Amino acid sequence: MCSQQRRVARLILKHLVDAHFPSMFVGGCVRDSLMGVEPHDYDIASVALPEQVQNIFSLLIDFDCIATGIDHGTVTVVSQGCSVEVTTLRRDIQTDGRHAVVEFGDDFEQDALRRDFTMNALYEDIDGRIHDYVGGQDDLKLRCIRFVGDPATRLEEDVLRALRYFRFKSRFDLRAERDVDEMVCRFLPRVAFLSRERIHSEWIRMLGCAHLSYEQIEQWSALRLWRMIWLSQTSGVSLEDGELLAQQLWQAQSVCTQSELLACIRFACILHKDPFLDFVDARSLEAAMKKLRFSRREALSVSGLLFAFQEIYTATATWSVAEVLMWVEKAEQLYGQGSFRQMVVPILQLMAIGYEEVESKIAQIVHVEVEYAYRRKLLQQVSGKHLASFCPELRGKVVGIVLAHMRFCLLQGTWQDLGELNLAQNSSLKEWFLYIETLSPVC
């Protein structure tokens, strides 16, 4: 697909040049190519105005144009299932911290001077020659991220660049000029004015960087990066031994094969390292994450990795079979049975290194989960509908209490009377319990 994308992009570039509109590839596609990375997206900078771009490709077969940002000079050209953004050369006349009023021009150097980082201000012409007006090639060779011009000015123009700065540093493992990190962090509170979808998109891309290192996680924590862009006030109790847990959680990436869970592991690692980001319970953390447009699964995964360990760590020294199986059931609902067995348990095992009691509990989880796996099937018979057939007089909140107690008894394998019910009701429920027990053999 990437080679197809480049072929289509070069064809679009050729049509623009052949129509006597000087045009070049620009930005990430040029940067990635120079770094030996196959670009996934291509952008073209051109002297052609948006209406001229539309006129050129409206006359060609197999090309469509979408006016994705006419006011800012951008037209998306689509062909053979691939899309390329063509943007008119421009300069900013007025900015508000995110959006700009632009004036179209015909000067590639002027266009380069309005961009964020030198490595993103590189141009490649139709013959493959690189045009560098701001020293981006030298910075790439030095593995350095540098703003075009004055960093504060670039950030005043668009505060999203603060998040992009940290993302590019992580993605390419770049170093920065002295004190730039601290200066960028001063702009992070303004991120709250961006859309939460945009913040989430940048944050997830930062966490998903292939070269993200534990040292960078430590740096983010030291700079209070996450705290700066957190959009809600939280309070709670400290996680015990957060530094050790963070290191162990980082090691847990070695058993992770799902990219979504990988980002969640890294996010949980950051929360472990920052003692000022504490939460009373999983629900408050999930609610805060949802405000930043994390999906329900992402929020549950992060809270699960944080609080599952805490739950195991703080629970009684010896769990009953029922307690173990109820914890397993909850974990499988969160991660899926396959993911739980293949990844979550190994992650917890890695996190538990150095905690003797926790290691024994996780070993108990693995043992009981396998030996008593069939008991979970019995829980399919526990529903409000089934309860009504055996004890129709039960109503309201007591129904939930009874169902939870029945599940506990089935997982434990023994019936226990429920103190909130009378003798007749307990007898009916015991009859139901014995009926369900006959549906599957008991070890």
- Bridge partners (DSSP) listed for residue 245: none
Question: Which residues, listed in sequence order, are joined to residue 75 by a DSSP beta bridge?
Answer: 86
What does the domain layout of the chain look like in residue ranges? 2-140, 163-229, 242-256+291-373, 378-437
Note the pLDDT of residue 193: 74
Task: Evaluate whether the domain defined by 2-140 bears CATH number 3.40.50.2300.
Answer: no
Predicted confidence (pLDDT) per residue in 343-395, tens digit = 667 767 766 766 677 777 778 777 776 666 666 677 777 788 878 877 888 87
Residue 232 has pLDDT above 50, yes or no: no
Q: What share of the chain is helix, strand, coil (3-state, %, to 5)?
A: 60, 10, 30
pLDDT by residue (tens digit) across 173-216?
A: 888 887 898 888 888 778 777 777 787 788 778 777 767 776 77
pLDDT tens for 414-433 read 788 887 778 788 888 888 88
Report pLDDT for 241. Answer: 43
Does residue 260 surpass a pLDDT of 90?
no
Query: What is residue 286's predicted lDDT score, i.e. its pLDDT?
Result: 73
Residue 135: what are its φ and ψ, rounded to 5°? 80, 25
Q: Do 105 and 135 meet the contact criterion of CB atoms below 8 Å apart? A: no
Q: Which of 80, 73, 3, 77 is nearest to 39 (CA)?
A: 3
Predicted confidence (pLDDT) at residue 231 exceeds the cutoff of 50: no
Contact criterion met (CB below 8 Å) for 30 and 123? yes
Instruction: Of 288, 311, 308, 310, give the one whose Cα is nearest residue 299.
Output: 288
Indicate if the pLDDT at residue 50 is higher than 90. Answer: yes
Give this prediction's pTM. 0.66
Pairing assessment for the beta strands 130-132 and 122-124 based on DSSP bridges: antiparallel
Return the pLDDT at 392.
81
- What are the backbone dihedrals phi and psi of residue 359, each rounded to the nearest 5 degrees, phi first? -60, -45
| Region 284-305 average pLDDT | 72
- The SS3 of residue 101 is strand
Please provide the DSSP assignment of 326-377 as one string. HHHHHHHHHH-HHHIIIIIHHHHHHHTTT-HHHHHHHHHHHHHHHHTTTHHH
pLDDT at 57 over 80: yes
Q: Which band of pLDDT confidence, cut at 50, 70 and 90, is reported for residue 443?
A: very low
CB 144 within 8 A of CB 169: no
